[in-house]
Amino acid sequence: MAKQHASILASGQIYTEKCMTFMKSEIRKSNSHRVDSFDRSNHTFMVHETVVPKEGRPIGHFSVNLSNKWCDCGKYQAKHMPCSHVIAACSSIKYDYWSLISDVYKVETVLKVYSEVFQPIPNEGYWPQYEGVKVCHNPLMRRVKKSRPKTKRIRTEMDTTDRVSRKCGLCRGQCDVVPQHSVGFRLEDEKADL
């Protein structure tokens, strides 16, 4: 792998093959975009698509801000390579969009990754035994089993009730002496039996 990237670097190619393929397809797409300039000093543009993209979405318009490295489609932020909308905005102001590609995609950077020395991976027989993930419980999360669980509901003024005086079940009045009613009814029942 390192020899392959060294030969690519010796040939004068700056970016990796995947980066070059992506950029070629995005440059091809950018030729069909129309750019409206909003604020040239802050590099803010509105890019309108004129051809239906092959990505399965309808024709749209996207806001591009070159100073903040932002495009509404999200490709520019995710891949750190200019999307077709950014390329169209850069082309409208004669700005070099190749300078917006992250250094990660340069052949020189990839070659530096492989310049480090790696230890070879030993045979699987020498690997330590895998015991799984060790899970430790949090003792503060344990529930108290002795008493009734405490409610987690937050009480408001709606939950408070006014004290209502109890009414007698027999006369529906507010009498204090309920046993008198029960004694009185027993006496009347006994008289009726005679």
Domain residue spans in the chain?
16-104
**Rounded Cα–Cα distance for residues 194 and 190 (Å):** 7
pLDDT of 180 > 60? The answer is no
Q: Give the percent of the chain with pLDDT over 90.
A: 32
pLDDT of 80 > 90? The answer is yes
- Percent helix, strand and coil across the chain, each to the nearest 5: 40, 10, 50
pLDDT attached to residue 187: 47
pLDDT attached to residue 5: 65
Q: Convert the pLDDT of each residue in 117-175 to its tens digit.
A: 888 889 998 998 888 888 888 888 887 777 777 778 888 888 777 766 667 766 766 66
User: What is the chain's mean pLDDT, rounded?
Assistant: 82
For 182, residues 6+ apart whose C-beta sits below 8 A from its C-beta are 170
How confident is residue 179, by pLDDT bands cut at 50, 70 and 90?
low
Poorest-pLDDT segment among 1-10, 37-46, 99-108, 175-184: 175-184
Q: Using alpha carbons only, what angle is made at residue 116 by residues 112 and 120, rounded to the nearest 5 degrees?
A: 140
pLDDT attached to residue 53: 76
pTM comes to: 0.58
Where do the H-state alpha helices sit in 45-148? 75-79, 84-92, 107-115
